[in-house]
Structure formats: C-alpha cells, structure tokens
Structure 1
Amino acid sequence: MKGVLAFDLGASSGRAVLTTLENQKMVIKEVNRFSNYAIDSNGSLRWDFEFIMDEIYKSIKKAEQLGDFDSLAIDTWGVDFGLLDKNGELIENPYHYRDKRTNGSFSKIKEIIDPLSLYQKTGIQNMEINTLFQLYTLKNQKPEIYDRAEHLLMMPDLINYYLTGSIKTERTIASTTQLYNPTKQNWDYGLIEKLGFKTSMFPEIIDPGNVVGRLKDSIVEKLGVSNKKVIAIGSHDTASAIVCTPFNNKETLFLSSGTWSLIGTQLNEPNISENTYYNNLSNETGVDNKITLLKNITGLWLIQEAKKQFEREGKNYTFDDISQMAKNAKSVECYFDTDLAELTVPGDIPKRIRLLAKKTNQDIPLSDGEIVRVIYENLALKYRTAYEELCDSVGKYFKDIYIVGGGANADFLSQCTANSLNLNVISGFTEATALGNSLVQMLAMNVIESLDNGKAILANSFETKTFSPEDNENWETKYYNYKQTLSGGVKIGK
C-alpha cells in the first residue's frame, strides 16, 4: 500500500513520520524532526508559524522522495490558535500558552459566569492557558486585533487552512477550548455570546476521518509533489495518542506522557458532576466520539527545561542518560507541586527547585542526577493525586495504566509511577501520537477495517514493557510526606 504522512507537532518539537502497513505490521520511517520552541516577540511568547510551515513543506517534499503516500494529517497541542482577517491572512503569530498575559484572567471570568456553571457547559478544568481565557484577554487587551478577526482557527486547523484553504475545526481540538459543549457536541454559542465573543469567528466542526481538502495547487507546484488529501484526524495530540491505548477493559487508565502529562480514562458520555468539577478534571472528546476524562498536569517539561540548563552549562546529556542518572542518584527528601507557577515558565529549573527546597526547609538536591530524580519522583507523586481524583470522580479503582508517548522511554519514570500508584504500568508506543494519527488516516483511506483492527495491528508491531509496583512501604511514606509538605504540615521523617 501507499503510505500516510503523520505530522505530530508538540510544544517542544515536531516530527513527520511516514507510515506503511506491511504484512499486517505498522512500519514507521521518520522523515523530519525539528525543535519547536517559543520565540520572544516584544516581550510576549509566540509560536514562529512561518518556521512551522516551512518545516511542514520541507517534510512533504522529503517524504515524497522517500516513498509514495496518499494522505497527510496534522496533530498539535491544544488551546492555542491563530486569527484570520477578512482577507484570510494570519493577523499575527499565535501566542504561546505559557505567555503571562492571561495571568489573573480567571478572576475576571468569574465576574461574568460562575465557575461551576462554566464547567457544566464545557466540562473542562479551569486553566488560564485555555482558549477561552486567551481570547478574553486578547479582546480586552488588544481590541484592535480582536476587531479585525474574522475566523479563529486552532493550531492544527490553521495549518490545514494553509495547506488546503479550507476553514474548518476538528472536533477533538475544539474540545480543548473551553468553548465547546460536549453534551451538545457543538460550540456553546450561549457561552460565546455571554463572554462577548463573535459567534461568526468559530468555524464548522468536522469529525476525525473526514477529508479537509487537498493540497493547494500552488503548494503542489512549489514543492513538485503530487496532490495529496489532507485528513482530519484526532488533531489534538492527546486524542491521537489515546487511539493507541488498548483499553482491554474498563479498569485501564492511560497516561499520555510528553511535555504535558494527561492521565485519565474513557467514558461513553461526559461526567460533569460537582464532584468532577471540584477534582478539576476535563472531559475532552476522543477520536471515536468517546469522552476522555482526564487531568492535565505538567509533564516532561521540567526534564526538558533541566536538560536545556545542563546544556547551557556544557553538559550534553541524552534523555536516556537523564533517566539512568536519576536511577543511580540517591533519593532526596524534597517535595513540591510540579504545577507550581515558578516551574511553568522557561528558565533555570534546577536552580528554582533548589530554591524551593531551601525555602521549605527540605533537603536540597545537589547533583544533576539528584535534580532529575526529584523531578521524576514528584511527577509520579503528582500522578497519584490525579489518580485518586479520577477514582473519586468515577467511583471505582483501576488495575493498570498504559503510558504512551515520549515518556514511555523513561524506564525510571515508569517504575516510579508503578510504585506511586501501586498499579502495573505498561509502557510503549513512544510514537503513539504519530501512530494514532496514522491509524485514523488509514481508516479514512479504507486501509484498515476499524480502530480495533488498527490497535490489534499495533500490538503486533511494537513491544511494550511492564513495570510492577515495588518498595510499597517506602512509597507510601513518600506520598504521605508529599501531601504534608504541599499542605504545609509536618512530615513524619525520612
């Protein structure tokens, strides 16, 4: 068969993967990989959209030289967007969700709509990075930009527009905005009007598996490639990653581990109870119209930023090196919330962690290995708090958890997660997002019969690792100390 080209754009890197089905096995070939970092634009954090598109064009041309493919599809992180003017031109580079302009916007939104009412409409946890808060801030701080806007396109939809000229929004990415109603399965126009937004800005929503369009003639001519279909897939990267998770039973959790960590389960319908609201969980839409009930928390961002700092100091560790360093380092009694505001902006993360330890009278991680170990351990402890909130919200416990995405490469993190949650951890499908993207393309192109068929092929194509819980008593003590430290209480000792 001809292949499909999957673009998986994360908040720190992008990749293009050519996928084919050979002898009932998925075969992937990396076409291009590139860094994707925020740029400083007059004091604000932005995405370099011209650079992103240049890498996409380069990847399409290179993929054509490596092997024939029929279609391509884009997935990206959620919440960020671009605005088009009446001429269909991008008004300005899209903001990065870590830009500080939205700080304090939640208190302003609360004056317009009660947070519980907002949650009952959208089912999304309140985070000031969400599209709702970004757009509200833009409307109030830069009305001249807002007034020019004719269309709001989420990042994958904006890329699709540049490739095809089609103005559409894919459903899974729409569900990240906090302006989509998962019960009505459409934009919540009442909420949009209540916030003073133009309803006309929000495009028609299409489902994964639909054809967005074909490459523009100008792109085909410029790149010297044949015309390709552009497919709507689970364009929110989490939705694509979850496609790879084999939910063999209702007692399975997933952990999509990348720059962000998203831990959750699948439901047939939204869970928008007060209990779920107070646990601050999100109801996002999946590829097969399932609801993904999840917690969105900081993930390998901390490791990525620590790695950058090490490099500034002349130490070029690989991620494998970092995982091994953590395993070999001694465990330091240093606990912190990985979602702390001072840990969510770029910079010297190791220094900030040491300052936190000193400020809270804890042991200070000194070596690089100790720093990365406390990051991994605190991530695993944070996962447990999210796990307990999920169990509380759905009224049941789980037996195992699948880790997919780049974090599945970090064996030490997988073992820490098994220890912390006291669950079996199955890790694998490190390129889960690109593979999920590819599976939906293959389904749309009638190469595979169903998603279940595709998951069976995946299971036959790639190996997984299983990590069983260890050192339970020690990790129970760690978790107790973690909770006591975060609440300002007294630890029980080492």
Structure 2
Amino acid sequence: MSTAYLAVDLGSSSVRVMVGILRTVSGAGSLVIREAGRFPNIPVRRPEGLGWDVAALHAGVVEGLRSGVAAARAAGAEVRGIGVAAWGVDYARLTADGVLRDFVRHHRDADAVLAAQTSAERDLAADYAVTGVLDQAINTAHQLRQDRAAGIGAADDTILLTADIFVHLLTGRVGAEVSLASTTGLLDRATGDWSIPLSAGLPALLPPIVEDGSWSGSTTPEVTAAIGADDPVPVFAVTAHDTAAAFMAVTDAADEGTGVVSSGSWGVAGLALAAPLLDESARREGFTQEIGAAGDTLLVKNLSGMWLLQQTLREWAEADGSSAAPIEMLTDLLAAAADSHYRGRFDPADPSLQAPDGLTARIAAACTATGSAPPTSRGDFVRAIVDSLAAAYADTLRVAADLSRRRLERIRIVGGGARNDLLCALTAERSGLPVIAGPVEASVRGVLLQVAVAAGDLTDAASARGIVVDDGDGPARFHPAAAVATATPTIGDPS
C-alpha cells in the first residue's frame, strides 16, 4: 500500500515543495522523499519597505504541488495531505473584506531604532515571563508597531503569519498555527492564546489559534484544478515554524541527551523541553522559547547561520564579475578554510551582521573587535565564519544544558549546514561531543511525518521518527569529538 504527502517549506533563500511516498509492507513503513519543485525566495523592495513576493511564491508553490501530485500518481499513491512550514515573525494583512494586501513585511527590514524605543518603555522581564520570547526588533509585535508608524494597513486588518498565508491561499482558512504564533512575542504560554495585555493597541487583529494536527480544510476548487488533483486535497496544520518542524524530525522532550542545531540561513541551537523556563536566567542568556511538536518547548537561541557564508560568497562572486557563486567556489574555499591557520572569531548573533551588503567588511571589524587581527584571505574569512558558528553552537548548547539541568551526549546538526563537514567537525571539537549530521531537509521531513500522522497513516511522532527514510541525501554522518578521549559527555551537569 502506498500513500503520498506534500510538504511546502518556505525558507529564507529558497522554497521547496517535496513529495513523500509512504510504503507499508507487513506493517513496516518506509518513506521516500523527493523534490517536486524548488525556486528562489527573493524579497522585493517596495515603497513600504522590503517585503515578501507572495504572488511569485504562490505561483511556485502551486507549480510544485502540481509536480508532486503528478509524481504521486505515477507511483500509484493517493495524496493524503499537504503541510506548510516557513520562518516565523513575518506576516501578511488580510483586509476586513478578505483581500490579501500586496505588501508583506520582511524581518530583514525591521526598524531596530523604533523597537529599542518601544522596548525601553516596557518591562521586558515581565513580557518574557508571559511569552518566553526574547525581545528582538524582528518580533511580530515590533513589526506591527513599525506598520503603525509608517501608516501601513488598517486596524481592522487580520494578520496571517508566513505559513498561514499559504494555507489561506490553498484553503481559505484564517488562523494562526500555534508554533508559528509562539514566535510573535504575543502568545501567552500559560493560556495558549493571544495575550490580551500584550496585543492591546496593536494596529491589526490576531486570528484564532490553530492546534497542530488539526485539519485546516481542503484545497479550493481553483487550487485543486491548478495542481492537477482529482479531488480536493486535505491540508493539515503542522508545526509551521520551520525550526519546530526540523526539531520534530530528530528529537522530542523525552530525549534528554540530544542538543539540536538547525543550521540553515539562520542558525538555531537548543533543546526540546517538556515545559518552558519562563525565568530571568533564560532571558539574560538570550534564549527564546517557542512551541514545538506535541506541545514541547524549544529552548533555543537564534544565530546568524549559513547566511553569513552565502552573503560573503555572493559578494566575492560579484567582485569576480559573476552573477552567482558556483558550487566549486564554495568547495575550494572550504578546503582553504580547513588549511587556514587563522583563528580569529566573532559573535554570529551580533545584530550588525544581519543586514546584507558590505558583510565582509563588517565581519573583519567584528573579528578586530574581539582582539584578533582581521582575516586577509578568502580562506581566512570562511574559517572565521565556520569557526565562529561552531563555537557559538557549542557555547549555546552548553548554556542550554546548564539552564535545563541536562547532560548532553550528542549534537544533531540538521539543515544545509549538515553538508558542511568542516562546520560539523569544528562543532564536535568545540563541544567535546559527537556530532550527527543530517537530515539536510529536516524541516521537510518533520512536515511530511506530521501530515502522515494527521492523516491517520502513522501512529504518532515517536513511531514516525522510527521509520526508514530515503531522502536522496544518504545516511546521517557521524563526526567524533576529536577533543575527547572517551565517550564521557562534557556539556551540562545535572548536579
């Protein structure tokens, strides 16, 4: 028996539509995941600011779903559901008449000055005790205040968070999936609903909270026809923040020995816990806490991830007269970085490194600020980036383990960074723990497994993680901790 599921994963640099085909033989299941569509996610500059190009993204999503439906049909599998994941905090505005406004604000255009002015007037410790979300300029609450200052939208608009935009376009549903809602800085962790005090006075309405695993509706007649499906396809709410989906693919709160690094354009490092740590110690250490699968809490720190490497490669390619960096350029530079004797590092979480353009100069300045000589060769720059990320991952997981009184035994690096052997090896060296690299498409795997569970074809998340998965990328790779002579873990101590 074969069934199929479709995942839409809206990353910050590219969008993927993947098809998963579940084959069950004698009660044992295996999932084959293949790409049905991939296209770039390029923000657009509008008079209102930097924004999502929703029209182009929606067209690509529909085309990818059409290819996925065709692939399932060719495999003789029934498409049983669709799930959507994306990054957090950003949103669209739906007018009172149900029209999606053209401008969809992008977090890379967040007004840090306005956010700081607002934050200075608030009791940030009290806010954190309600939401578990670290105060940052990119938070939805601050972006909404940015809208108000710019006169964007109307007070009776309803916001739709990233993934929920596309669920709405597929089904007509208006709602906020709970894991995505937990990134906004507006969700009350005690009630599981929007905080009335924190949302009061914001220039928009907040949609109803939607729980994971619930049915969001089926594709509209127009979408059903456009994707080539014979019948409307169910769309299920999954952990729609891509970080939460990636965590679900490899761990849960019961797995106390595993720390996770989701290493994509953004880097997110942390642990899955059974309950949030809504205290001042977690806030002072810079941790934010979103809701994961099955109500878990993800105690994580946001870091600038592989985007730092992507942007420096883009700058160098442009300097060389090329429109894009070829893969050979990355391969050669990583080899040069492995041989480099440069050991300067910087803080990848530094907000000054979050904006594009002129990034190499800012990285050099950041290295100098820590007392190191600036990198001179491109190999030195790449070494500084990769070594800084590895150190940040190890340090972040060490603090997370201390806060949660856990002793970690391993680190899982998922996302695109799992392909970077130098990054994985340096993370093992810096942490003293073995690193398991992969899956690369962890958020996609998490979405597909959750759709299969929601459709009733897999029992639960734990059993879903246990099935054999072929995603075309090979098995996870193991990087031993070269700095440790024994298997004794070195991060965290419950005593």
TM-score (norm 2): 0.89
Counterpart among 33, 56, 69 of residue 61 in structure 2: 56
Counterpart among 406, 424, 430 of residue 440 in structure 2: 430
AA partner of residue 237 (structure 2):
A
- Corresponding position of 1:452: 462
Q: Please state if 1:205 is matched with 2:209.
A: yes
AA partner of residue 153 (structure 2):
I
Cα deviation for residue 183 of structure 1 reads 1.9
Q: Aligned in 2, Cα 1:33/1:222: closer, same or farther, shift over 3 Å?
A: closer
- Corresponding position of 1:18: 19
- Corresponding position of 2:43: 38
Give structure 1 regions of 4+ aligned residues with deviation exceeding 6 angstroms.
none
Q: Please state if 1:304 is matched with 2:310.
A: yes
Any unmatched runs of 5+ in structure 2? 74-78, 486-495
SS in 1 for 2:294: coil
Counterpart among 343, 351, 364 of residue 361 in structure 2: 351
Cα deviation for residue 220 of structure 1 reads 2.3
1:322–1:372 Cα contact (<8 Å) kept = no
Any unmatched runs of 5+ in structure 1? 474-494
AA partner of residue 298 (structure 1):
S
AA partner of residue 385 (structure 1):
D
- Corresponding position of 1:363: 373
1:40–1:46 Cα contact (<8 Å) kept = yes
SS in 2 for 1:2: strand
Q: 1:88-119, CA deviations, whole angstroms, 9 ceiling, x for partnerless residues?
A: 112232111010434341332331x3010110
AA partner of residue 41 (structure 1):
R
1:241–1:434 Cα contact (<8 Å) kept = yes
Equivalences, count: 467
- Residues 123-272 of structure 1 aligned to structure 2 (within 5 Å): 123-142=132-151, 145-147=153-155, 149-193=156-200, 196-197=201-202, 201-226=205-230, 227-247=232-252, 249-272=255-278
AA partner of residue 187 (structure 1):
W
Q: Please state if 1:376 is matched with 2:386.
A: yes
Taking the aligned partners of 1:251 and 1:319, their CA distance within structure 2 comes to 37
1:279–1:393 Cα contact (<8 Å) kept = no
Q: 1:103-143, CA deviations, whole angstroms, 9 ceiling, x for partnerless residues?
A: 341332331x301011011001111101111112212332x
AA partner of residue 86 (structure 2):
T
1:172–1:239 Cα contact (<8 Å) kept = yes
Taking the aligned partners of 1:423 and 1:25, their CA distance within structure 2 comes to 30
Taking the aligned partners of 1:319 and 1:124, their CA distance within structure 2 comes to 38
- Residues 404-423 of structure 1 aligned to structure 2 (within 5 Å): 404-423=414-433
Cα deviation for residue 262 of structure 1 reads 1.2
Cα deviation for residue 267 of structure 1 reads 1.4
Indicate the percent of aligned positions where both proteins have the same amino acid: 26
Farther off after superposition, 373-382 or 42-51: 42-51
AA partner of residue 290 (structure 1):
D
- Corresponding position of 2:490: none
Q: Aligned in 2, Cα 1:319/1:94: closer, same or farther, shift over 3 Å?
A: farther
Farther off after superposition, 295-304 or 214-223: 214-223
Q: Please state if 1:468 is matched with 2:468.
A: no
1:4–1:438 Cα contact (<8 Å) kept = yes
Taking the aligned partners of 1:326 and 1:275, their CA distance within structure 2 comes to 40
Taking the aligned partners of 1:320 and 1:428, their CA distance within structure 2 comes to 19
Taking the aligned partners of 1:191 and 1:364, their CA distance within structure 2 comes to 43
2:432–2:483 Cα contact (<8 Å) kept = no
Q: Please state if 1:278 is matched with 2:287.
A: no
Taking the aligned partners of 2:238 and 2:458, their CA distance within structure 1 comes to 15
Farther off after superposition, 338-347 or 357-366: 357-366
Cα deviation for residue 358 of structure 1 reads 5.5
AA partner of residue 124 (structure 1):
V
- Corresponding position of 1:393: 403
- Residues 42-121 of structure 1 aligned to structure 2 (within 5 Å): 42=47, 44-68=49-73, 69-111=79-121, 113-121=122-130
SS in 1 for 2:138: coil
Cα deviation for residue 296 of structure 1 reads 1.3
Q: 1:45-79, CA deviations, whole angstroms, 9 ceiling, x for partnerless residues?
A: 11111111010111122222222322211100011
Alpha-carbon RMSD across the aligned residues, in angstroms, is 2.2
Q: Aligned in 2, Cα 1:417/1:220: closer, same or farther, shift over 3 Å?
A: same
2:22–2:31 Cα contact (<8 Å) kept = yes
AA partner of residue 233 (structure 1):
V
1:332–1:364 Cα contact (<8 Å) kept = no
Q: Aligned in 2, Cα 1:320/1:307: closer, same or farther, shift over 3 Å?
A: closer
Q: Aligned in 2, Cα 1:361/1:236: closer, same or farther, shift over 3 Å?
A: closer
Cα deviation for residue 359 of structure 1 reads 6.5
Q: 1:174-222, CA deviations, whole angstroms, 9 ceiling, x for partnerless residues?
A: 01001001221111122212xx126x81111111111111111122234
Q: 1:257-305, CA deviations, whole angstroms, 9 ceiling, x for partnerless residues?
A: 1111111111111111121121121121011111111111111110111
SS in 2 for 1:284: strand
Taking the aligned partners of 1:7 and 1:400, their CA distance within structure 2 comes to 29
Taking the aligned partners of 1:343 and 1:105, their CA distance within structure 2 comes to 17
- Corresponding position of 2:492: none
SS in 1 for 2:397: helix
- Corresponding position of 2:489: none
Taking the aligned partners of 1:46 and 1:434, their CA distance within structure 2 comes to 24
Cα deviation for residue 388 of structure 1 reads 3.2
Q: Aligned in 2, Cα 1:271/1:40: closer, same or farther, shift over 3 Å?
A: same
AA partner of residue 103 (structure 2):
N
Cα deviation for residue 224 of structure 1 reads 3.8
Farther off after superposition, 432-441 or 81-90: 81-90
2:251–2:272 Cα contact (<8 Å) kept = no
Q: Aligned in 2, Cα 1:52/1:321: closer, same or farther, shift over 3 Å?
A: same
2:114–2:146 Cα contact (<8 Å) kept = no
Q: Aligned in 2, Cα 1:274/1:362: closer, same or farther, shift over 3 Å?
A: closer
Cα deviation for residue 322 of structure 1 reads 5.7
SS in 2 for 1:21: strand
Counterpart among 328, 334, 337 of residue 344 in structure 2: 334
Q: 1:156-185, CA deviations, whole angstroms, 9 ceiling, x for partnerless residues?
A: 111111111111111110010010012211
Q: Aligned in 2, Cα 1:251/1:459: closer, same or farther, shift over 3 Å?
A: farther
1:323–1:410 Cα contact (<8 Å) kept = no
